[in-house]
Amino acid sequence: VIGPRSFGREPHRVARAAAAALRGYREGGVLACAKHFPGHGATTVDSHLALPTCDADRATLELRELVPFREALHLSPLVMTAHVRYPALDPVLPATLSPAIVTGLLRGALGARNVVVTDAMEMKGVADLAPGGDGLLAALTAGCDLVLFGEWTPALDAALDGAAARWDARRAVGSTTTR
């Protein structure tokens, strides 16, 4: 699905190319974002249309998907999550909504201190599972710092108001504001 929008298929070559691009962006004054964590290349479904699944086992993910991120995380202030399900990492939730992936793997095992941003939450990869305010709360609970919505509607506004009433911001503000 990602195809020509990627740096290739070989993980170490992708890592080198991504690192070079991120350094160039930084030197040019551009704020870049490493994406889509923990990977999107091994999927065949477009997350704009449905929820893709990457069925790779944990060892394969370590050797393939995570290699470029290990290189890129220290070069980019931002990392964007993938609306992709990885049963080897979380048997139920896609990365964007998964505490095991965002907090456990990205922040914990990989030590990322980046600002974690979601992809657009109206994409079917998450919207069908957790629409509007439910998606917002799930992404924040997973450990995301910024939650993107591409189109603002009155229905979304109402859903987010409802979510805000249920969210205890004091839980997250400390760690998010330090990033």
Instruction: List pLDDT tens digits, range 102-118.
Output: 999 999 999 999 999 99
Q: What angle do CA 124, 95, 151 make, to 5 degrees?
A: 35
* Residue environment code for 90-129, b if the CB has 16+ CB neighbours within 10 A, otherwise e: beebbbbbbebbbbbbbbeebebebbbbbbbbbbebbbeb
pTM comes to 0.88
Over the Cα atoms of the chain, what is R_g?
Answer: 16
Query: Is 128 marked active-site?
Result: no
Report which of 21, 9, 113, 94 is spatially closest to residue 51, judged by C-alpha positions: 94
Looking at per-residue pLDDT, the higher value among 177 and 62 belongs to 62
Catalytic residue among 57, 90, 119, 161: 119
Do 107 and 143 meet the contact criterion of CB atoms below 8 Å apart?
Answer: yes
Between the ranges 7-16, 102-111, 146-155, where is the mean pLDDT highest? 102-111
Residue range 48-74: mean pLDDT, rounded: 93
